[in-house]
Amino acid sequence: MSTTTAPFQVRPIEPADFPAVVAINEASLPAVSSLTVAALSDLVATGVVTLVACSPDGPVGVLVCLDHEAEYDSRNFEWLKQSLTRFTYVDRIALAPDARGKAIGRDLYRALLARLAADPLRAHLPLACEVNTRPPNPGSMRFHGGLGFVEIGRQDHGDKAVAYLMRDPKTAPDIGERS
């Protein structure tokens, strides 16, 4: 199942996408943690769904989603597992620098939400993520707020600090079609 919004297509990741996705991820530091191709492969295998946004030249964005049952060594994921019983989790969303500001992140979330809504095991689960507050990432906070995410907690890890966000599918607004 693909979602097309010209000139970008959102589709599940393929192994051939891994090098480009790692480059996109690394260009998004420190908003996301660093990845290697091997770590991305493991993360995709652990995840519920990993989507890429592609231009005719290849991937320009990625979104990785896990659920509460994932075996994933992450202090942020562990905080969410202790705070929420059942949930889905956006581990990362990253866009190539020249793809930012073009609603591609919204398209990735729209495709993810459609997939989750069609999954009877996950359709009614809250969707969680975290956003850095140190170093600050106000753009991501605004972006996620516009998608219906609300803050449910904060944690200071010393080297960085994060806000935990949750989107309740029963009360969050529809993010609508691209205009």
DSSP state at residue 39:
H
As a whole number of angstroms, the distance between CA 64 and CA 47 comes to 7
Q: Helices (DSSP H) in the chain: which residue ranges? A: 18-27, 37-46, 75-83, 104-117, 138-146
As a whole number of angstroms, the distance between CA 117 and CA 81 comes to 21
**Which residue ranges make up each domain of the chain?**
3-167
pTM: 0.92
pLDDT tens for the chain, 179 residues long, are: 444 445 899 999 999 999 999 999 999 999 999 999 999 999 999 999 999 999 999 999 999 999 999 999 999 999 999 999 999 999 999 999 999 999 999 999 999 999 999 999 999 999 999 999 999 999 999 999 999 999 999 999 999 999 999 999 988 888 875 54
- Domain 3-167 architecture: 3-Layer(aba) Sandwich (3.40)
Alpha-carbon dihedral sign for residues 56, 13, 120, 69: negative
How distant is the alpha carbon of residue 99 from its chain centre?
16
The secondary element (H helix, E strand) that includes residue 61 is strand 58-67
